[in-house]
Each structure stands twice: as structure tokens, then as C-alpha cells.
């Protein structure tokens, strides 16, 4: 038994190292002075750590505006998707109706949508509806990109909440809505948060749509635009890009750690229990 354990732990450590290395390298590079980044023998950690790249990144034009926009658009899209998806998920998980099967299949199929190819039609639609330079349009697109997956996932979380709980509340004289709000919703909270993380990451990352839907009103651009701005005619400023990438990943990581602590590993396993 003993050698097996050792082998297992060594293997786990190897997986851990391989998985974390690229992320670690991003952090480490962000703190290295430019001369060290270009050194022929890369050091595993910064010999002379510096914050200059972070200063460059934060000091770039419009950082705070983009930050605010990203948060607003991402937040709005995720919230909207959660609410809309919850309604659908409830209908699918708790009710019987004609067309339920096809609806589920359509939701699944909607994940195949070739979003990159919809860029031009979407641009034309936005232009004709005078919705260019509009954060609402952008929010709508991100909402739709995340909606199908949100429905699929939430439906599973909802199905995992035993119906008996709801029934008990109904017997106690709650209305259907009150039963939902007081009983199901708290049980569903981890699922809602886990699902929202997916939407958050997707919308937070998006570059192609914001690039063509926000044209003249530069103050409406989002953070991915900023992340790609450390490149000019002379080349990419790696240090600043890595620092920016670190800052860019930070909100997602913080959100994840927050959710992780709050709901623990049960967040994931809870959903799968059938």
C-alpha cells in the first residue's frame, strides 16, 4: 500500500506543477524588469522585482473607464441570463408540457451557435437599429452567448433540489412563489453562483464583438481592448501585457475563491447528485 501512495502523491504533484506553471509564469514575468524578461537564461523568479509593469498597465488610457464598463456589461448580462434561465429551468425541471423535449434540445443546440460568424450580421443589425456604440446591445449579445449553458446547468441544479422540500412548504400554506423564494432559492444559491461564474468568464473575455459594436464612443470599450493595447508599431510590451493579464484574471480568481469558500466543494458535487 505504501509505495502506491507515494506514486499517487508524486503523480499528483507532477500534475499540479504542470497545471500551475503557465499561471505562475505570468505572475513572475509581470514582476520582472524588462531586461530580465529578455534574458537568455530565464530566472524562475524575479531577481529584482519591480512594479513598473503594473504602473504601465494601470496608467494606460481609459483603464478605469474600461474597468467600469466591463463590470457593468458583464454584471448585467450575467444577472439577466440568470433570471431568464431560472424561469426556463424551472419550467423544464418542474413542469410537464408539450414541446418540453424539443425546447431542451434547442437549448442544447444553441450552444453550437457560430458566434464569430455572426459578427457581421450582428453589426448590420445593430447599425440598422441604431444600436452601435451601445452598451445595451453588447449586454444583449453577452446575455445570449451565456444563456443556453446557464439554462442547461441551472436546470440540473434545480432538479437536484428535492421536490419534497417544495411540497412541504406548499403544505405549510406558502404560495408557489413564496415556496420558491424561501425554500428553493437558498438551496439553489450555490448553483446560481457557480453558473454565474461561467457567464462572467465568457463576457469578461469577449473582444471581437466589442471591437466592432463599439466604434466611435471609445469610452464604452471594455477591458479586453485594454489588455490588447500594449502593442504598438515597435512590438508587444511583454511585461505590461503580463501585468495586465494578471490584473485581468484577478477579478475572476477572486470571484472563484469567494465562491469556493462560501460553498465549498459541495458546490460542484451538490449539482451532480441525482
Partner 1 sequence: MRNRLLAASAVLALAAGAGACGSGADSGSGSGGAPATGAASGAPAKLTVWIMDGSVTDELIKQFETDYEAARPNVDLDIQIQAWDGIGERVTAALASTDAPDVIEVGNTQVAQYAASGGVRDLTDKVADLGGADWIPGLAQPGNIDGRQYGIPWYAANRVVVYNKDLFAEAGITAPPTTRDEWLEITARLNKGGNQGIYLTGQTWYALAGFIWDEGGDFAVKEGDRWKGALDTPQAMAGMDFYKRLQALGKGPKDADEANPPQHEVFAQGKVAQMINVPGGAARVLEVEPDMKGKIGFFPIPGKTADKPGAVFTGGSDLIIPEASKNHDAAYEVVKALAGEKFQTDLAKAMNFVPNRTSLAHVLDADEGTAAMAKGASNGRATPNTPNWAAVEATTVIKQYMTAVLTGKDPAAEARKASEIITETLNSGS
Partner 2 sequence: MAVAQTPAPPRERRAPRLPGRAPRRPGDPRGPRRLWPYLLIAPAVAGGVLLLLYPMLRAAVISFQRFRMGELVRGGAAFIGLDNYRELLAAEEFWAVVARTFAWTGINVVLIMGISTAVALMLLRLGRRMRVALMSVLALVWATPVIAATTIFQWLFQSELGVVNWALTSLGFDSFRGYSWFADGTAMFGVLVVLVVWQSVPFAALTLYAGLTTIPAELYESARIDGGTGRQVFTKVTFPILRPLFALVTSLEIIWVFKCFPQIWVLSQGGPDDATTTLPVYAFKIARVLHRYDLGSAVAMLTVVILAVALVGNLRRMLRQEGAES
Exposed/middle/buried for residue 136 (C-beta within 10 Å: 0-12, 13-18, 19+):
exposed
Distance, CA of 250 to CA of 35 (rounded, Å): 26
For partner 1, the binding residues in 22-41 under the rule CB under 8 A are 34-35, 37-39
Question: Whose Cβ is closer to partner 1: residue 9's or residue 218's?
Answer: 218
Positive or negative: CA dihedral 21, 25, 27, 32: positive
Q: Find which of partner 2, partner 1, none residue 23 binds, CB within 5 to 8 Å per kind.
A: partner 2
Among 83, 106, 103, residue whose Cα is nearest residue 93: 103
From the CB of residue 213, how many other CB atoms can be counted at a distance below 10 Å? 22
For partner 1, the binding residues in 68-97 under the rule CB under 8 A are none
Q: Find which of partner 1, partner 2, none residue 216 binds, CB within 5 to 8 Å per kind.
A: partner 1
Q: What binding mask, one character per residue, do residues 190-209 give for partner 1 by CB under 8 A, x or -?
A: -----------------xx-
Distance, CA of 72 to CA of 155 (rounded, Å): 26
Distance, CA of 61 to CA of 94 (rounded, Å): 50
Question: Whose Cβ is closer to partner 2: residue 220's or residue 239's?
Answer: 239
123: contact with partner 1 by CB under 8 A: yes
Q: Smallest distance, Å, CB 166 to partner 2?
A: 8
Question: Whose Cβ is closer to partner 1: residue 35's or residue 112's?
Answer: 35
Cell of 258: 469567494
Structural contact between residues 246 and 27, judged by C-beta atoms closer than 8 angstroms = yes
Distance, CA of 65 to CA of 222 (rounded, Å): 8
- Counting residues that bind partner 1 (by CB under 8 A) gives 30
For partner 1, the binding residues in 209-268 under the rule CB under 8 A are 211-213, 215-216, 218, 225, 228-229, 231-238
Residue ranges binding partner 1 (CB under 8 A): 34-35, 37-39, 61, 123, 127, 130, 132-133, 207-208, 211-213, 215-216, 218, 225, 228-229, 231-238
Amino acid at each position: 500500500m505504501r509505495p502506491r501512495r507515494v506514486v499517487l502523491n508524486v503523480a499528483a504533484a507532477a500534475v499540479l506543477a504542470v497545471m500551475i506553471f503557465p499561471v505562475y509564469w505570468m505572475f513572475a514575468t509581470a514582476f520582472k524588469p524588462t531586461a530580465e524578461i529578455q534574458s537568455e537564461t530565464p530566472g524562475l523568479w524575479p531577481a529584482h522585482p519591480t512594479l513598473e509593469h503594473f504602473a504601465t498597465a494601470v496608467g494606460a488610457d481609459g483603464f478605469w473607464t474600461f474597468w467600469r464598463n466591463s463590470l457593468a456589461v458583464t454584471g448585467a448580462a450575467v444577472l439577466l441570463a440568470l433570471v431568464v434561465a431560472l424561469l426556463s429551468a424551472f419550467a423544464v425541471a418542474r413542469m410537464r408540457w408539450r414541446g418540453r423535449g424539443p425546447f431542451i434540445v434547442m437549448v442544447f443546440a444553441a450552444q453550437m451557435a457560430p458566434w464569430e460568424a455572426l459578427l457581421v450580421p450582428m453589426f448590420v443589425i445593430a447599425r440598422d437599429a441604431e444600436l452601435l456604440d451601445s452598451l445595451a446591445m453588447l449586454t444583449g449579445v453577452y446575455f445570449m452567448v451565456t444563456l443556453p449553458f446557464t439554462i442547461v446547468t441551472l436546470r440540473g441544479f434545480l432538479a437536484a433540489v428535492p421536490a419534497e422540500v417544495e411540497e412541504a412548504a406548499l403544505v405549510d400554506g406558502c404560495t408557489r412563489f413564496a415556496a420558491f423564494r424561501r425554500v428553493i432559492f437558498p438551496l439553489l444559491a450555490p448553483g446560481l453562483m457557480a453558473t454565474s461564474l461561467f457567464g462572467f468568464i465568457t463576457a469578461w473575455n469577449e473582444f471581437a464583438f466589442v471591437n466592432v459594436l463599439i466604434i466611435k464612443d471609445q469610452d464604452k470599450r471594455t477591458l479586453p481592448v485594454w489588455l490588447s493595447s500594449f502593442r504598438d508599431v515597435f512590438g508587444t510590451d511583454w511585461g505590461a501585457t503580463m501585468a495586465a493579464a494578471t490584473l485581468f484574471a484577478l477579478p475572476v480568481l477572486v470571484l472563484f475563491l469567494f465562491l469556493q469558500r462560501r460553498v465549498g466543494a459541495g458546490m460542484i458535487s451538490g449539482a451532480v447528485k441525482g
